[in-house]
Structures are given as C-alpha cells and as structure tokens.
C-alpha cells in the first residue's frame, strides 16, 4: 500500500494541491520515472484516508498540466518527464525575464538598452 504522501491539516492549501505538489516532486526527482503507473484513485484514497473525489481532482489537474496521462480503463501514468522538466524551466525563465523587464522600466531603460544588457551578460558568461 502506498502512503508516502503526507496531508497536513495545518497546511492552508487544499488537500488536492498538497497531493499534486508531492506527486510532481517525485516525478521531477526521478523517483517516479516516465511511464510508471500511478496508484489507482481508489487505492491512493484508501492509503491516504482521503476522499476519492479529492484524488480524482488532483489527477485531473495533473493530467491537464501534462504531468500524467490517463488511459481509459488502464490507469494513470507518468508522462514524458523531459517535457515536464523543460516546461518548468521555461516557466522559470519567463518569470526571471518579467522581473528583469520590471527592473529595466524602473531604471528607465529602453527595450534596446535592456536587450543590449542581456547580450553583454551572455558574452560575459561565454568568456568564463
């Protein structure tokens, strides 16, 4: 019986988000490799003593994120993990770029100035 996932009652996040986060962590860490079958919804509900509808919600959202795939009547499986890691990094890049754009505006830089600064940063990295 699988019960490595923890549900905390002092965590303000709803239970389905806590479950999603811990499944994602196992996939990113490589503990749950691509193609691995996830516990069935009812088995995980029983293992965690959490309602079936909560696990369903977590799996559905993970599926919409592309983290897992569900084959009807066969179960849910870990999706292409490279795709996931890549996507997470892309998201991070967008966040950093948005932060840089914000700082640039505060300093009164034009988009061209900012682009030049980015090129300079890349050149500096190549020199090292």
Residue 15 interacting with other proteins (CB under 8 A): yes
- What is the nearest approach in angstroms of other proteins to the Cβ of residue 55? 10
Residue 11 interacting with other proteins (CB under 8 A): no
Residue 62 interacting with other proteins (CB under 8 A): no
Residue 50 interacting with other proteins (CB under 8 A): yes
Phi-psi sector, 51: left (phi>0), alpha (psi -120 to 50), beta: beta
Render the burial of 34-51: b for 16+ CB within 10 Å, e for the rest: eeeebbebeebbbebebe
- What is the nearest approach in angstroms of other proteins to the Cβ of residue 11? 11
Q: What share of the chain is helix, strand, coil (3-state, %, to 5)?
A: 60, 5, 30
- Binding residues for other proteins, rule CB under 8 A, total 17
Task: Rule CB under 8 A: choose which of 5, 32, 39, 54 binds other proteins.
Answer: 54
Q: Strands of 3-128 (E only): list them.
A: 68-71, 75-78
Cβ atoms of 19 and 54 within 8 Å: the answer is yes
Residue 12 interacting with other proteins (CB under 8 A): yes
- State the residues that interact with other proteins by CB under 8 A: 7, 9, 12, 14-16, 42-43, 45-46, 49-54, 57
């Amino acid at each position: 019986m699988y019960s490595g996932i923890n549900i905390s009652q002092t965590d303000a996040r709803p239970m389905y988000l806590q479950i999603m986060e811990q499944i994602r962590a196992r996939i990113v860490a490589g503990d749950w490799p691509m193609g691995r079958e996830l516990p069935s919804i009812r088995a995980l509900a029983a293992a965690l003593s959490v309602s079936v509808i909560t696990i369903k919600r977590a799996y559905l959202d993970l599926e919409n994120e592309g983290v897992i795939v569900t084959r009807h009547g066969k179960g849910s499986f870990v999706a292409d993990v490279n795709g996931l890691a890549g996507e997470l990094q892309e998201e991070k890049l967008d966040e950093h770029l948005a932060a840089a754009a914000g700082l640039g505006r505060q300093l009164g830089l034009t988009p061209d100035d900012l682009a030049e600064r980015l090129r300079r940063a890349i050149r500096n990295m190549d020199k090292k």
